[in-house]
Chain A
Amino acid sequence: MIYLQLFLEFFLIGLFTFGGGYAMIPLIKQMVIKNLWLTEDLFIDFLAVAESTPGPIAINMATFVGATQGGPFGSIVATIGVVLPAFLIIILIAALLKHLLDNPYVQAFLKGIKPVIFGLILATGIVLFMKSIGFTGFTSFDFKYQTLVISILLITLFVGYKLYFKKKMNSILFILLAASIGITTFLYFNLLS
């Protein structure tokens, strides 16, 4: 039954992600592809939407995957699944177990997973970048030179802004600029050819 499956899969995601939305991306990606719920391309496209709409990325992802598989009810079930572990654990901690987090073994566990999470996020960024310029694995390669031009422009823009203003550019602004750079670059090369 799809509703139960959506609930359980997202419950597991909610239970095993420490460190916020970005850490959740590789897990959700693996899970939806394994279940054949989304293609990798659609997942990456939607990730871009999840980044540019308000709200926690994990919630946006759960709602979208749920909606594609089970309509409005599916999206509610998936969202409840991803929210529930955090909800229950925080209530437990707030009500009874505040000492739990002071326990040295719990601390050691949390310390051990930190570099794993950072590695997962780093690898996710690298893989997404490779895929967005057309490198989709060792068997398929669909390189578009336009994407290379767009990448160089965007990296220059992002790093330049960061060095000049000493802070990260607002994500929404960066995504909007990226959309316009994408359109302009493709139209420019279309005109040339």
Chain B
Amino acid sequence: MKNVKVKHPHTLKSLAELFLVFLKLGAFTFGGGYAMISLLREAVVEKKKWLSDDEMVEVIGIAESTPGPIAINMATFVGYKQAGVLGSTVATVGVVLPSLIIILAISLFFEQFLENQFVKYAFYGIKIAVSILILNAAIEMIKKMEKKVLPILILVAVTILMLLIELFNLPFSTIYLILIGGIIGIISYGLSLKKARKKS
């Protein structure tokens, strides 16, 4: 794979365009990064023609296999491709700004807001709904997972461990679980290489 080419030189107008496209994405995507993929495709592939469909798939792949919110990964990548590091910065600030402003406004009166009786009742319903949405996301992802013994074993073990950690308030950081998973991945790859070498 060759490195990404940056379209130089960029103008103030092209930077403003980049900023506005991502500002809109940040303001109108509800429900997290995955919801952004379809909107991003519409804006960046169909309207602006900044990326081809193949490049779009590549961006999603990179976004999913690197840490951080998917929306940020995508904004940084598309911004870089259009106008280098400056473009990345402009696109990322654009996608973050709507959240920042809206949440800052909400945070000012959040606790008073929660004291209202009707709001309290509504939140009982909303909290249950949010947990159903999260469970649904988990089930959808697990359905697409490869059905092999090791990943399923890890999945079950992590789920049980995490439930115990949560319910007994155990001081164990989930970051370690993620690192252990990665190490198991590398070891099992190493072992499969060894096996393949023995056979040949």
Contacts and interface: CB of A to CB of B under 8 A. Distances in A.
A30 interface: yes
Chain B interface, DSSP helix/strand/loop, else mixed: helix
Chain A interface, DSSP helix/strand/loop, else mixed: helix
Contact of B4 (A21, A94, A181): A94
Interface string B58-100: 0001111111111111001100110001001000100110111
Contacts of A172: 30-31
B122 A182 contact: yes
A99 B166 CA distance: 38
A99 to B, nearest CB: 7
B57 interface: no
A191 interface: no
B16 interface: no
B158 A120 contact: yes
A150 B124 CA distance: 8
Report the interface size class on chain B. 35 or more
Contacts of B27: 54-55
Interface string A129-171: 1011100011000001011001100110010000000001001
Interface string A45-87: 1111111111111111001100110001001100100110111
B186 A112 contact: yes
Contacts of A22: 32, 134, 137-138
A99 B132 CA distance: 39
Contacts of B30: 52-54, 171-172
Nearest to A129: B131
A87 B162 CA distance: 29
B106 to A, nearest CB: 6
A89 to B, nearest CB: 5
Interface stretch (B7-15, B43-51, B175-183): B175-183
Contacts of A64: 103, 106-107, 110
Contact of A102 (B1, B31, B71, B138): B1
A180 interface: yes
Contact of A98 (B3, B76, B131, B166): B3
B135 A14 contact: no
13 contacts: A16-B178, A54-B29, A90-B72, A111-B185, A118-B141, A122-B155, A123-B166, A125-B134, A137-B168, A168-B136, A175-B126, A182-B126, A183-B121
Given A58-B68, A120-B177, A186-B121, 12 more contacts: A49-B103, A55-B99, A56-B72, A83-B92, A86-B66, A87-B68, A94-B77, A110-B65, A111-B189, A115-B145, A119-B159, A180-B122
Closest 9 CB pairs of A and B: A112-B185, A86-B68, A182-B125, A119-B158, A55-B99, A116-B181, A178-B129, A108-B189, A123-B162
